[in-house]
Amino acid sequence: MDSDKETVSWMRRFCNVFVHAAVISGPAINCAVAGAIVDHRNTLQQLARELGTAKEDLRRLEIKSREIAAKEATRHERELSRVRAALDRSVDEVAHLKQLRELDCKERDVQETRHEGELKRLLSLVDELEKRERINQSKRNDEVNERRRALETATIQISELKEMGNRDRVDMNTVSAYYDDHFQNLRLQHEKEIQQRARAHQEQIQAKHPKPELHELPDAPTRLSQGNQSPCNEAVLFSIDLSSSVGSDYSAMIALYKRIVSAINIRNPSAKIAVICHSQEEGPVPMKVLQPFESITTGTEILLDQIPLGTSYERHDAVIVEAKTMIDRIPPRYECRMIMLRDNGFFLSHDYIYAELAADFIPIYVVQFESSGIDKDFGSRPRRVVQYSRGGTPTLYHMDWEDMGRDPETLGREARDRVSHPPSFYLLLQWFPLRLPSVLTRLKLPRCQSPTKGLQSS
């Protein structure tokens, strides 16, 4: 394109030269002939020179045009060869891709064939599993039906055994009632003899040494005289003093506590047990030793709902307040008693509190333990037996630890000689048999006998 433009430019210039020559030659004709011819010749010479120059320029332009055309042709050839090479590469790539596609199609066909075979195998396996499941389900149904029939048969047999057990229980109750009546008659006769001897001995003592301030010795407790002797609801509340302010025999307290709990469990497994302790954090006995035996805690509920076993209170008045609260929560169907394991100093300083509790609520049994530190705190006060009564019926029974292991018959004979051992000790041994001799073993109270009711019936 550039060479064409240059050619056109030169052609225009050449044309302008001719036009200029025509313009010049026009006036030259009108000039003088002589001068015009000379000028015309000069002009023609000038035009010839210019024409030669133009021809030379035109020749150079043609040469340059041919060079440019050759360069353009060479460049186009190179471009064409590059395009042809790219086209060849594209053709090769297309052929390669076509080959890859054919290979991929073949591989896909192989994979589909293999997957179809695997699917057929899995379907056949599923069919086989379903068949086995149907067979197993049928077997399970047969087993369930067989077990159901066996259960129905066992239920019928159990019902028959229960009926037989009920009949045997009725027979046993009849026999037990017979022996209970027999033992009741023996016991009443024995108690009547003890009462007569105690009254006679007391009359002799009062005749020899009259003491107006002493009250008449209460009668020994008797059992219920009528009705079936079926187990009744029984609740026992322990109040144990484990404070470190005195040096009591704590091991003896705990040993007695465990023996009493064991006796309760043997006599009445359905009894409810609870413990209130007076203790301090630095006390000598860990609280866990006061937990009842496993057979009691697992077989019965904790007495009075919210009070956990082994609850400790640092103040004595807090103990008695909590005891009153617990007693108030006892359901009416329960017959409750309270057992206190104390040192002599505690009872000497707090007996009035428990006297009020015994007078207003339930019978209380107090076991007093000796302590060497008591004399320093309370002085050498004599040991005494404290008895409180409500309407002539004793409700608070007090005894010394030294007497717990002695022969009850010996204690009964001593009771006729001094007031310090009333029949309350005999009553405690009947309720909680610890070391009972043969006489008390034969005459022990039945399981659901209440000491308060026994005293009232006498």
Structural domains present in the chain: 1-182 (no CATH), 215-457 (3.40.50)
Whole-number pLDDT of residue 222: 32
Whole-number pLDDT of residue 126: 92
Whole-number pLDDT of residue 14: 74
Whole-number pLDDT of residue 192: 72
Whole-number pLDDT of residue 83: 92
Radius of gyration of the chain from Cα atoms?
65
Compute the distance between CA of residue 217 and CA of residue 230 in angstroms, rounded to an integer: 31
pTM confidence score: 0.35
Compute the distance between CA of residue 41 and CA of residue 48 in angstroms, rounded to an integer: 10
Burial readout 190-199 (b: 16 or more C-beta within 10 A, e: otherwise): ebeebbeebe
User: In which order are the strands placed within the sheet that holds 388-390?
Assistant: 311-313, 272-278, 233-241, 334-343, 364-369, 393-400, 388-390
Whole-number pLDDT of residue 229: 36
Whole-number pLDDT of residue 432: 40
Report the interhelical angle of 423-431 vs 408-415 (nearest 10°).
160
Residue 226 has φ and ψ, to the nearest 5°, of -130, 165
Compute the distance between CA of residue 414 and CA of residue 409 in angstroms, rounded to an integer: 9
Residues 6 or more apart whose CB falls under 8 angstroms from that of 422 comprise 217, 218, 385, 387, 394, 397, 415
CB 344 within 8 A of CB 369: yes
| First-to-last C-alpha distance (Å) of the chain | 151
Whole-number pLDDT of residue 420: 38
Residues 6 or more apart whose CB falls under 8 angstroms from that of 51 comprise 17
The pLDDT tens digits along the chain (458 residues) read 566 777 777 777 777 777 776 666 666 566 656 665 677 788 888 888 888 898 898 899 989 988 999 999 999 999 999 999 999 999 999 999 999 999 999 999 999 999 999 999 999 999 999 999 999 999 999 999 999 888 888 888 888 888 888 888 777 777 777 776 776 677 677 667 776 776 776 677 677 655 433 333 333 333 323 333 334 577 777 777 765 444 455 666 666 677 777 777 777 777 777 777 665 554 444 444 444 433 333 322 333 233 343 444 445 556 666 667 777 777 777 777 777 776 655 544 555 555 566 555 677 776 666 544 433 433 333 333 334 444 444 444 445 444 444 444 554 444 444 333 333 434 444 444 333 333 223 323 233 233 333 323 32
Pick the closest to residue 323 from 339, 335, 334 (CA basis).
Answer: 339
Whole-number pLDDT of residue 344: 55
Whole-number pLDDT of residue 427: 41
Tokens describing residue 368: 């007093």
Burial readout 78-108 (b: 16 or more C-beta within 10 A, e: otherwise): eeeeeeeeeeeeeeeeeeeeeeeeeeeeeee
